């Protein structure tokens, strides 16, 4: 069976049951995510589908159930996705893809700030990236690879969480417009040094 996921009014898919189960286990799809197995019927909260129980391990597949079994959803108004607390523990950065943040003015989480987010996504991580971005607050797309995000999180928290959805083919750059503090992921050693020099000169 094919499934589709809607993130910020954009549809992604089709995905198999195995792929959807992987998305659920990775946290990319939760009970409030908008999904469907029939685009013409509209999108509903994933938790309204019987299949979500199988993907999340809450239900066992019945004996004799086939791979082509149809799952039905109870139409429901999607609940808003919760915004993570800015005081939660930061997600560890993958060792094989270190990201760097130059030393600058410290940014304390708490008050909402506007961030510039630039992401070049060449892998299949677009859906996961947008889903993660949306969790942190109001996001407005202003270009093919550029977003403005209003969030209470710190630039480091955003970098750590968003980079978890990317791989070695992708690049990420963020700027805290209030504190003039950047953070980045997988931009290469040369550009890393040039950005550090640029910000150090600006603060000097």
Per-residue pLDDT reduced to its tens digit, 42-51: 888 888 888 8
Domain topology for 113-203: Alpha-Beta Plaits (3.30.70)
Q: Is the pLDDT confidence value at 146 over 50? A: yes
Tell me the per-residue pLDDT of 29-42, one tens digit each, with 9 for 90 and over. 888 888 999 888 88
| CATH tag, 1-80 | 3.30.1490.40
Residue 99 pLDDT: 42
Q: Please, what is the Cα angle at 90 between 150 and 19, to 5 degrees? A: 85
Of the listed ranges 99-113, 142-156, 183-197, the one predicted with least confidence: 99-113
Instruction: Determine which helix (DSSP H) or strand (DSSP E) holds 83, and give its type and residue range.
Output: none
Q: Is the pLDDT confidence value at 61 over 70? A: no
**Phi, psi (5° rounding) for residue 200?**
-65, -40
Query: What is the pTM (predicted TM-score) of this model?
Result: 0.50
Q: From CA 122, how far away is CA 149, in angstroms rounded?
A: 21
Tell me the per-residue pLDDT of 72-94, one tens digit each, with 9 for 90 and over. 443 333 333 443 434 333 444 44
- The residue extents of the domains of the chain are 1-80, 113-203
Residue 203 pLDDT: 59
């Amino acid at each position: 069976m094919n499934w589709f996921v809607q993130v910020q009014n954009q549809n992604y898919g089709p995905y198999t049951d195995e792929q959807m189960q992987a998305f659920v286990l990775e946290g990319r799809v939760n009970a409030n995510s908008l999904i469907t197995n029939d685009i013409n019927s509209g999108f509903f909260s994933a938790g309204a589908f019987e299949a979500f129980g199988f993907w999340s391990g809450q239900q066992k597949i019945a004996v004799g159930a086939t791979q082509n079994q149809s799952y039905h959803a109870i139409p429901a108004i999607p609940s808003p996705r919760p915004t993570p607390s800015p005081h939660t523990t930061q997600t560890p950065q993958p060792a094989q893809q270190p990201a760097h943040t130059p030393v600058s003015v410290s940014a304390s989480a708490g008050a909402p700030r506007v961030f510039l987010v630039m992401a070049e996504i060449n892998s299949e991580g677009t859906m996961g990236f947008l889903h993660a971005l949306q969790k942190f607050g109001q996001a407005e797309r202003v270009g093919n690879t550029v977003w403005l995000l209003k969030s209470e999180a710190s630039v480091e928290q955003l970098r750590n969480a968003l980079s978890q959805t990317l791989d070695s083919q992708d690049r990420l750059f963020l700027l805290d417009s209030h504190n003039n503090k950047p953070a980045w992921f997988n931009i290469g050693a040369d550009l890393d040094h040039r950005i550090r020099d640029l910000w150090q000169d600006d603060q000097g």
